[in-house]
A = this chain, B = another copy of it.
Amino acid sequence: MVQNISDMFHAQSVAVVGASANPDKMGHTILHNIIAGGYRGMIFPVNPRGGDILGYPSYPSIVDIPHPVDLVVIVVPAPFVPDIIEQAGRINVKGIIIITGGFREIGNDALDAEVMNLARGYGIPVVGPNCQGVNYTPNKLCASWPLITAKGPIAVISQSGTIGAAISMWAEKDEIGISAFVSLGNRSDVSEIDLMYFFAEDEETRCIALNIEGVSDGKRFIDCIRKIADVKPIIVLKPGRSPEGQRAAESHTKAIGGDDAVFDALCRQFNLIRAYDLDEFYDLCKLAAFISSPMGNNLAVITSSGGSGILAVDAAVENGLKIPKLSDESISKLKEILPSQCVISNPLDLTGDALADRYSDALEVLRSDCTFDTFLVIFGDPIPDTAEVFLELMEKSEKKFIVSYLGGGDVEESEKNALHRISIPVFPTPERAVKAISAIQKYYERKDEKKDEV
């Protein structure tokens, strides 16, 4: 149980026990990433050999550091860990991250218990052991790998280091960023539940990406999601859905996933947003990061590519969204302003020679069509200056604009990030956009229903 994990995230100083000048060592990677991540607190490499490491003077042990130490990151082999916890307790650190493996995950339950008992005795929260560390971008504290510096609205809590890293890297590459990446490892102390409570209050976090293979404590988990699932969207990827997958999960993290149908029912009851594969996990996080108020289920599709528009319509129908007709007023206004080859319906096909200005013109009309408050805008060619389409619209309108950009090559790559910078989410295919819209729309719909029940 955790007293105050907030102090750990906001640590003003950090010691890396097992820091190394050898780039092949984990103790190098962690120290390097803390420095390269731009951490502005004090940094203390700890290594009995002494000398400078990556330009910072090292100390033989944490008790030798002549300043207060808030956070201790441990990278030394498992048998040395209890001593370091003892020392950490004596100098009143506020948090410990144990990267080192060799505990419960390989059957060494006794060592795991010894370490946790010590830490609990001192009241120090511990992340890990056997984990990939903690990255909290608001404090520029990347005590983790990979090195991710892009600050953004998604807090990633992950039992799988790779899945958490993949989501974080995608979010960085897309210029969306993360508020945090916490690798749970054995989660012998700090659990997904403690972290969800923290991120629910964290102002830098708009949505929580949760990857777990089983819940750490069923009753506390339900209490937690009952309280916070409607505060911030929680997107959950819980593999081990099949019995075969469940068995694999048990050998991976000793997680008891339980009956998947029960977990699924829990998600529906308490409004967790469940993703069923890794792409969907990221897509839902992306949309939840940008959309933070209810959206309707009437979708208007505007496209330069008729074929892509049809993909969107099929996906919408299959995911419970509606594609209503345009109002007569919209139709007559659009007929006035659009070239004759455009197909004026929903989807609205602006045709292949459409540039950004044609989208602006069309959206300027459609934003007044009260049938719609959600717009899927498909750019199906290398169309430049797409961010300008939305900047003015967003000032004048509360409508939701979601983009799918495809067939645009290098232009697509830069436009996608330009759109993300102005908080317009971009998906690589129309179907992925639609699936995400459907899931987030349902989240807000259920949230509203629950409010009404109260």
Contact = CB atoms under 8 A, between A and B. Distances in A.
Contact of A163 (B304, B343, B407, B409): B407
Contacts of A314: 239-242, 244-245
A344 B315 CA distance: 40
Given A242-B314, A252-B310, A340-B106, A432 B279 contact: yes
A160 B347 CA distance: 15
Contact of A248 (B243, B304, B345): B345
A278 B381 CA distance: 15
Contact of A213 (B278, B307, B343): B307
Contacts of A248: 306, 309-310, 313, 345, 347
Contacts of A382: 146
Nearest to A101: B341
Given A278-B429, A310-B248, A318 B407 contact: no
A323 interface: yes
Q: Which of A102, A132, A146 has the most CB of B within 10 A?
A: A146
Contact of A245 (B158, B243, B305, B317): B317
Interface residues of A, number: 65
A132 B430 CA distance: 21
A22 interface: no
Nearest to A246: B310
A253 interface: yes
A349 B429 contact: no
A244 B313 contact: yes
A160 B311 CA distance: 11
Q: Which of A242, A313, A349 has the most CB of B within 10 A?
A: A313
Nearest to A132: B352
B162 A308 contact: yes
Interface in A334-352: 340-341, 343, 345, 347, 349, 352
A225 B239 CA distance: 39
Interface string A254-290: 0000000000000000000000011100000000000
Given A106-B341, A146-B409, A341-B106, A279 B429 contact: yes
A112 interface: no
A238 to B, nearest CB: 10
B277 A160 contact: no
A18 interface: no
Interface in A390-410: 406-407, 409
B307 A252 contact: yes
Interface in A298-338: 304-311, 313-318, 323
Interface in A203-247: 211, 213, 239-245
A368 interface: no
Contacts of A102: 341
A33 B349 CA distance: 26
Contacts of A306: 160, 248, 251-253
Contacts of A244: 313-314, 316-317, 323
Q: 10 tightest A-B contacts by CB? A: A160-B307, A162-B305, A252-B306, A162-B380, A242-B317, A245-B314, A239-B310, A166-B407, A277-B431, A278-B429
Given A248-B347, A277-B431, 8 more contacts: A162-B406, A245-B311, A249-B310, A252-B307, A252-B349, A253-B306, A278-B308, A278-B311
